[in-house]
Amino acid sequence: MKCPFCGDRDTQVVDTRENEDGDIVRRRRRCPRCEKRFTTFERVELKLPQIVKRDGSRVDFDRDKLKASMTLALRKRPVPMEAVEAAIGQIEERLLTLGGREVPSVQVGELVMRELRKLDKIAYVRFASVYRNFADVDEFSEVVREVRGPRPPRSRE
């Protein structure tokens, strides 16, 4: 770490402490050249990839936008916000594990659909209808059949 006072690159760590959560490390340092002390802080920086939209433009990942679109699909559905937050966390975690600097928006949409399907089938169909931009009723019906699964045989009583 370079000394902010004299610019010497040879500084010594005098004291190291973590905060209560353990996600920030505070280090007191001393410069042997000018004898001044200073403090540095270290924290993990997780950088989510940029999203490449269908038109080729790139935007930063926006958690609030993701949450708003999922919340809209889940509107008036019995799904607690904790479950929505957990689903968003799963999507972010998946994006981080991909390891790339860029991710196509289509891939993010598929991750959202996967999480919505686990949370609520109606919300899944709502999101799919907007996301996939169905051209006709048959495409919409196919998604409903997919969600519904095989129908049990009717009993004849």
Range of the domain at 30: 12-43
Q: Are residues 35 and 60 in the same domain?
A: no
Per-residue pLDDT, 64: 94
Tokens for 120, please give them. Answer: 């609520």
In a domain, 155, yes or no: no
Tokens for 84, please give them. Answer: 């929505």
In a domain, 157, yes or no: no
**Is residue 108 within 8 Å of 91, Cβ to Cβ?**
yes
Please state the pTM of the whole predicted model. Answer: 0.63
Per-residue pLDDT, 129: 80
Q: How far apart are CA 3 and CA 12, in angstroms?
A: 10
Report the number of distinct structural domains present in the chain.
Answer: 2
Per-residue pLDDT, 156: 60
Q: Are residues 16 and 64 in the same domain?
A: no
Mean pLDDT score of the chain: 88
pLDDT band at 76 (very low <50, low <70, confident <90, very high): very high
Query: How do residues 103-135 score in pLDDT, each as one tens digit?
Result: 999 999 999 999 999 999 999 888 888 877 666
Q: Are residues 23 and 94 in the same domain?
A: no
Q: Are residues 27 and 68 in the same domain?
A: no
Q: Are residues 105 and 140 in the same domain?
A: yes
pLDDT band at 157 (very low <50, low <70, confident <90, very high): low
Q: How far apart are CA 83 and CA 66, in angstroms?
A: 14
pLDDT band at 44 (very low <50, low <70, confident <90, very high): confident
Q: Are residues 26 and 80 in the same domain?
A: no
Place of tokens 């998604």: 143
In a domain, 2, yes or no: no
Backbone angles phi, psi at 147, to 5 degrees: -70, -40
